[in-house]
Structure 1
């Protein structure tokens, strides 16, 4: 079933821009410098969480000034919906990270169920240490655990339904150049 493209276009026309492209790019550069300072000598395996982490990962990797192995994994709770469900693995990591340090790159830390499950998976599968980097941390008190925080975070945003820079609205607008909030959500 294809989405109503007029509705999808209307969502963008009416959306509130929370962070401009320039603000997002500056945040990515800052996160890249922080990660380089911390992990440059650690030979990490870097995993992009698909599909949301694709744009952030691609842009962030160019700011990581050290040798690394890059791969991907695909776990989701949303499946093109606007609210999360059970964790669903579409592709588990294929690069070995046993006794290695791992950096997980994702688009957003919302409630954190997906990120927490991925971190636990990596730890139980033999990673020496697991770090996380997110473009956006949503500001609310519904995190899966009160201790759950990303090691590296680009921006924070209000508790609304956001899209852009990898985050989607019903599978669309991952390509939006900025972070936007859906009107009324």
Structure 2
């Protein structure tokens, strides 16, 4: 598959910056403080949801001042597209978490189908409690279930197609040092 790099660059050039680097870093600090206050004595297993949660987890974990076990899982609905499809498990958790608290770290809570499936999986596999941390929560009425909310939320944004800090546009710009909205999406 050939990628039109000129188009990818144009998307960034035309994008609206919703949150700059400093605003995102401050939000991550707030999330870390809340997690430290609530989970420090719970011996959690932390799962980073790949690939989107990688940047957020990488920034968040050094701010957590307690012992934890870390692993990853990879479930996706997007596969480098701009619209979600069926849930596809690329890698399930490899660390045992039976009778343990689990903290899921992901980039975004959009409609929530992926996050809801991961939460259900962890509960079904024996987690004592499942906590969720997302960098961004999109404001809209299309959540997978009406009560689906992340326990820890860095930022809230309008219902647009966003990228940066781990979130991508067609597989690109996960490395953007801010959170941007694609013009027209």
Query: What TM-score do the two structures reach when normalised by structure 2?
Result: 0.99
Give the Å deviation of 1:61. Answer: 0.2
The aligned counterpart of 2:61 is 61
1-side partners of 2:44 and 2:38: how far apart?
11
The one-character-per-residue Cα deviations of 1:90-111 (angstroms, maximum 9, x if unpaired) are 0000000000000000000000
Root-mean-square deviation (CA), in Å? 0.4
Partner of 2:141: 141
In structure 1, what is the Cα distance between the partners aligned to 2:42 and 2:113?
27
Aligned-partner Cα distance in 1 for 2:110–2:51: 15
Q: Aligned-pair distance for 1:168?
A: 0.1
Question: In the alignment, is residue 49 of structure 1 matched against residue 45 of structure 2?
Answer: no
Unmatched 5+ stretches in structure 2: none
Hey, which bits of structure 1, 4+ residues long, moved more than 4 A? none
Aligned equivalents of 1:52, 1:34: Cα separation in 2: 21
Distance 2:134 2:92 in 1: 19
TM-score w.r.t. the length of structure 1 is 0.99
**Tell me, what secondary structure is at the counterpart of 1:62?**
helix
Q: How far does the alpha carbon of each residue in 1:136-165 deviate from its partner, in whole angstroms, 9 at most, with x for none?
A: 000100000110000000000110000000
**SS at 2:28's partner residue?**
helix
1:90 is aligned to: 90
Shift of 1:2: 2.8
| 1:85 Cα offset (Å) | 0.4
CA–CA separation in structure 2 for the residues paired with 1:170 and 1:3: 9
- What is residue 127 of structure 2 aligned with on the other side? 127
Aligned match of 1:72: 72
Find out whether 1:161 has 2:169 as its counterpart. Answer: no
Structure 1 unmatched ranges of 5 or more: none
| Count of residue pairs the alignment pairs up | 185
Distance 1:10 1:157 in 2: 22
Cα distance between partner residues in 1 of 2:63 and 2:25: 11
- Mapped to 1, the partners of 2:61 and 2:177 lie a distance apart of 18
How far off is 1:3 after superposition? 1.4
Q: Aligned partners of 2:177 and 2:39: how far apart in 1? A: 28
